[in-house]
A and B are shown apart, each in its own frame.
Chain A
C-alpha cells in the first residue's frame, strides 16, 4: 500500500481529516502522520529557521524534517493548510521546497476549507498513488496495437484511436451527457477508420467523467488527468527523455506538471476561479461575436496593453472587456488582453509555485489559441513554448498510449 505522509495544520479542527483519509483510501493509499516528539519539534523548527507563531505550523516543520531525516517511511507527501492562513501559505511552500530539495518523493500541496470533500482531493491522491505505484506504466514510451482513448473533460469530450504508435482517428465535441457524448466522440474517431469498437485491444479513459464512462465501457484503464496528460504531452512533443513542464489550461481547471523522463514528479492544480481558465476565453469570444477558433489569430494581431482589464473575476473581467469595446477598443486588442489576463493569472496562481523546467509543453484545447500561447511565453520572459500536434486531444492520446501498456484484450 502506498504510504502518503500528511503534513498539515488545521485539518482536524476544520473537520476534513476523514475526507483526506477517504480520498487516499479510494486510490489504494494510506495516510500516515510522521511522528515528532516535543523535543524534536523545538529542535526541528529552530534548525529549519522559520520561527512560526503557530505551534501547529512548527509541528508541520518537525514532521517534514522527520521525513527528510529518514525517521518516517513515506512514499509520497501531502501538505495542507487552511485557506487564507498567511503563515500556513508561507510554510506550505517552504516545506514543499525543503522536501523536494532533500528527497525524491512526489509532493502535493493543498489549501482547504471546511467544505473540502474527498472527491475534490481524488485527482491529487490518485496522481500521488499512480506516480508511486504505477511507475512502470508511466514509463511506457510507445503505443502498440489498436487502442482507444477517451478524455471526458468539463467542457469537451475527446476520443482518439491509435494504432502502432500513430493517431488514426479523432473525435471532439462539447460535453453534454457524459456517456452519450463519449459515444458520439468515439463514433467520430471510428468513422475516420475502418475499425469498430470490437476491434480495439484496450480502452483508456480520463477526465471528469472517467469513472462513469470507464465502468460503462469496462475500460482497462481509468486514470486521472495529471499523469495521463503529462504522459501524452511528452509523447506528442517527443520529449520523453529529460525534463519538461506541461501546462494545460482547461475549461474548468488548470494543471501544471513537471516531468522527468516522462514521469511526473510535481504538479499543481488550480480550479476555484474560472477567470484563469478556458471558460473565460470562451465567454470573451462569444462577446466578441467570433468563434473560439478565431480568438487566437485575432489576439495575435492585437496589443493587450491597449485594452484595460483590471479584474481577474470572470464576471467583472467580461465587464471590463465590454467597457473597452464601448470606449472604441478594437476586437483584436480586447482578445489579446483576455489571453494575457488568463496567462498572467495562471502564472501568478500556479506557475510561480513550481520550479519551471524548459521546455514548456502547452496542451489542451486552449493551446490552439495562438494568442494565449504567445501570452504565456511573454509572461514567462519569452521562453520556448511547444504546442505539439494533436495537443487538444492530449488526455485521449495519453489514455490510448498508457492502456496499450496493460496487455492486449483478445
Chain B
C-alpha cells in the first residue's frame, strides 16, 4: 500500500515501511524529480512561481508562498496515500520540512483523508522506541491483511 509519512522526509519511517513491503510516499522522490530536471529555472529545487500557485489547492492566497510551495510537493503525496503514519514532536534530524504552518496543515490534511492512520509521539527512551517500532510494524502488517482481504 502507498503510505504517507510525517515528517514527509523521514528516512527511518520510510525504511520501516519498505521493510514491511509497503511503498513509502516520501518527499525525497519528489524533490529528486525537480533537482534532476533538465530545465532548472530556480536552483537548487527548480521550484518556480507555478508551485505556490498549485499549492492554492491546499491553502488560500493569504497563506505565505513558502507554505503553498511546500504543499504543492507534499500535497499530492497526501492525496495519493492509502494509509499514513504521523510522528509528532520529532527533532529536525528525524525529518523536517522547516515550517510549523506546513506541519499543521499537512497533519490536518492527512487526518481529514479518513484513511488508516497511526499517530505517534517521538520516543525519548529505549523502551518507548521499541514500543513505537512495534506499533508501526503492527499497523503495517494489519494494512497488509486489509489489502489481501480487499483483494
Give A contacts to B, CB under 8 Å.
48-53, 83-84, 86-87, 89-90, 92-94, 111, 348-349, 352-353
Contact = CB atoms under 8 A, between A and B. Distances in A.
Contact of A86 (B56, B67, B111): B67
A48 B109 CA distance: 11
B64 interface: yes
A52 to B, nearest CB: 6
Contacts of B59: 89-90, 93
Interface of B: 53, 56-57, 59-64, 67, 88, 100-101, 104-105, 107-108, 111-112
A90 B63 contact: yes
- Name the residue among B57, B61, B112 with the largest chain A CB count within 10 angstroms: B61
Contacts of B57: 352
A89 B111 contact: no
Given A50-B108, A90-B63, 13 more contacts: A49-B107, A49-B112, A50-B107, A51-B88, A51-B108, A53-B100, A53-B104, A90-B59, A90-B101, A94-B108, A348-B53, A348-B56, A352-B60
Given A50-B104, A50-B108, A51-B107, A86 B64 contact: yes
Contacts of A53: 100, 104
Contacts of B56: 348, 352
A89 B61 CA distance: 9
B10 to A, nearest CB: 18
Q: Name the prevailing secondary structure of the A interface residues.
A: helix
A348 B50 CA distance: 12
Given A86-B67, A86-B101, A90-B101, A49 B60 contact: no
A352 B101 CA distance: 20
A352 B62 contact: no
Contacts of A353: 60-61
A168 to B, nearest CB: 42
Nearest to B67: A86
A86 B59 CA distance: 10
Nearest to A89: B62
Contacts of B104: 50-53, 87, 90
Nearest to A84: B62
Given A53-B100, A348-B53, A90 B105 contact: yes
B63 A86 contact: yes
B114 to A, nearest CB: 11
Given A49-B107, A51-B107, A348-B53, A93 B60 contact: yes
Contact of B63 (A48, A49, A89): A89
B98 to A, nearest CB: 14
B52 to A, nearest CB: 9
A347 B107 CA distance: 26
A93 B111 CA distance: 16
Nearest to B57: A352
A83 B62 contact: yes
B61 A111 contact: no
Contacts of B100: 53
B94 to A, nearest CB: 17
A74 B97 CA distance: 39
A83 B88 CA distance: 28
Nearest to A50: B108
Given A51-B107, A87-B101, A90-B104, A348 B63 contact: no
A186 to B, nearest CB: 39
Contacts of A50: 104-105, 107-108
Nearest to A352: B56
A50 B105 CA distance: 7
Nearest to B112: A49
Contacts of B67: 86, 90
Contacts of B101: 86-87, 90
6 contacts: A48-B108, A51-B88, A83-B62, A92-B60, A348-B53, A348-B56
A348 B60 CA distance: 8
Contacts of B105: 50, 90
